[in-house]
Amino acid sequence: MKKIVLAATISVALFAGFANPLQAREAAVVAAVASVDPAEQLQGMVSHLRNNDVAGLLRASMPAGQFQILRGAYEMQRGKPITDEQRAEFEEAIGKLTASNAVDQLMAEIEPKLLEAAPQAQGGILMALGAMQMAISQPESDMTPEQREMLRALLPGLERWLKSTDFFNPAIAREAVTLVTRAARDTGIQNLDQLKMLSFDEALNSASKMLAASKRAVKLYGLDIDAIAASTRFQTIAVEGNKARVRATVTVFDAPLSHELELTQIDGRWYGKEAVIRFKADAKVEAEKENG
């Protein structure tokens, strides 16, 4: 049905082109915007995540105007002078990740905390699992029926993961820290002046490197973000004007979880209710800056 409607729209645009080429081009643009399927858009966002494409993910998750606000805020921050205090604080923080002995220094801080926390871990896991069981079984909990069923499906796999993963193993922690510090060095950023020399797009490229390393580090603990993303599917249930409902399905710890999303269309693309509220608030602040 959607293909028929789209074909009819394009036919009308082409017919109008014999009388007015400009109107034809405008109609074709409208048809292209109207053809964006919310499920396909969300699936594209997941692809950006799997590809560690932070720039693409940001562009896909917000309207073009919002992306420009983000770019403008970054450029404005770049233009501000750097104080000696800011420079020193940043160099200290980034040095912990990029120094030649960064892994050893970080592990000297982390390992005692791991050893201290390990004896209490089993009890903490049992308490957390018990609390989730209570949330499922008690009707007076704040969870919706859909959330309760999702947690019920997730709980067996989550319990297996929590009980089988050695979160406090120093060797695993060292491997994870090594991945992150290596990615930090690969960005080439060692001080605040170098960071401010990066364009917005270059900064996002550095963020992509850190995202990739973070996913590899998390995978050491049995949580495969890319596999979860690969299992994610979206299905458009209904589109009514600028509102849409989409069914999202994802497999986490061998449990297929399903959730219905309510989306709003802005400039031909679809966003969740909370995101739309945030976009409007940011646009209001930006307008006040321009008028004030």
The answer to whether residues 14 and 90 belong to one domain is no
Strands 233-240, 243-252: parallel, antiparallel or unpaired by DSSP?
antiparallel
Q: pLDDT value at position 253? A: 94
pLDDT tens sequence across 177-212: 999 999 999 999 999 999 999 999 999 999 999 999
Domain encompassing residue 287:
36-77+227-292
| pLDDT > 90? residue 145 | no
Q: pLDDT value at position 204? A: 96
32-35 long-range Cβ contacts below 8 angstroms, 24+ apart: 33/267, 33/268, 34/6, 34/9, 34/268, 35/2, 35/6
The answer to whether residues 67 and 86 belong to one domain is no
- Stated as kind and residue range, the H or E segment containing 79 is none
| pLDDT > 60? residue 6 | no
| pLDDT > 60? residue 7 | no
Strands 255-266, 269-272: parallel, antiparallel or unpaired by DSSP?
antiparallel
Q: Which residues contact 67 (CB under 8 A, 6 or more apart)?
A: 58, 59
pTM: 0.81
Q: pLDDT value at position 142? A: 83
CATH code (residue 290): 3.10.450
Question: What is the band of 157 on the pLDDT scale with cuts at 50, 70, 90?
Answer: very high
pLDDT tens sequence across 10-30: 333 333 343 344 443 333 344
Strand order in the sheet with 255-266: 233-240, 243-252, 255-266, 269-272
User: Looking at residue 238, what DSSP letter applies?
Assistant: E
> What letter represents residue 239's amino acid?
V
pLDDT tens sequence across 94-132: 999 999 999 999 999 999 999 999 999 999 999 999 999
The answer to whether residues 88 and 59 belong to one domain is no
> What span, in angstroms and rounded, lies between the C-alpha atoms of 238 and 233?
16
Q: pLDDT value at position 239? A: 95
- Stated as kind and residue range, the H or E segment containing 262 is strand 255-266
Give domain status of residue 204, yes or no: no
Give domain status of residue 208, yes or no: no
∠9-13-19 over CA atoms, to 5°?
Answer: 150
pLDDT tens sequence across 238-289: 999 999 999 999 999 999 999 999 999 999 999 998 899 888 887 777 777 7
Of 182, 197, 212, which one is at a domain's C-terminal end?
197
Report DSSP letters for 46-78, one per residue. HHHHHTT-HHHHHHHTS-HHHHHHHHHHHHHHH
Q: pLDDT value at position 188? A: 93
Q: pLDDT value at position 18? A: 34
Q: pLDDT value at position 140? A: 75
Exposure class string for 156-171: b at 16+ Cβ within 10 A, else e? eebbeebeeeeebeee
The answer to whether residues 58 and 139 belong to one domain is no
